[in-house]
């Protein structure tokens, strides 16, 4: 059984006990939140709408992403980077 879950405006394909990384969520480690399930599939039977319980496992930062801009023959270069704030969540129940 798997489901398409909407968490913080993004959609993820998950199963029970899956751990995924999403954009930073409000809450403490160990909190259980509700997520909207858009679709579930169980042995080919499709059902729309539902709910899922997700548990916050960890707050962390993603890998550094570096962006480099250059305009040729102008002497212009710019190097910037950032690290995304992420939350690791575990799907505890999917209905």
Q: What is the pTM of this model?
A: 0.83
Mean pLDDT by 10 residues, the chain (95 residues): 94 96 96 95 90 96 97 97 97 92
pLDDT at 78: 98
> What is the C-alpha separation between 54 and 94, in angstroms, rounded?
9
Residue 89 CB neighbours (<10 A): 27
What is the phi-psi region of residue 57: left when phi exceeds 0, alpha when psi lies from -120 to 50, beta otherwise? alpha
pLDDT for the residue 6:
95
Please report the pLDDT score of residue 44 as a whole number: 87
Tokens of 88: 């690791």
- What tokens does 70 get? 């250059």
């Amino acid at each position: 059984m798997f489901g398409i879950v909407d968490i913080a405006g993004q959609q993820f394909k998950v199963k029970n006990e899956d751990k995924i990384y999403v954009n930073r969520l409000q809450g403490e480690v160990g909190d259980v939140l509700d997520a909207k399930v858009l679709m579930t599939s169980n042995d080919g039977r499709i059902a729309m709408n539902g709910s899922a319980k997700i548990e916050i496992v960890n707050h962390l930062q993603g890998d550094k992403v570096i962006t480099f801009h250059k305009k040729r023959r102008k002497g212009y270069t710019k190097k910037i980077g950032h690290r995304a704030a992420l939350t690791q969540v575990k799907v505890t129940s999917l209905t």
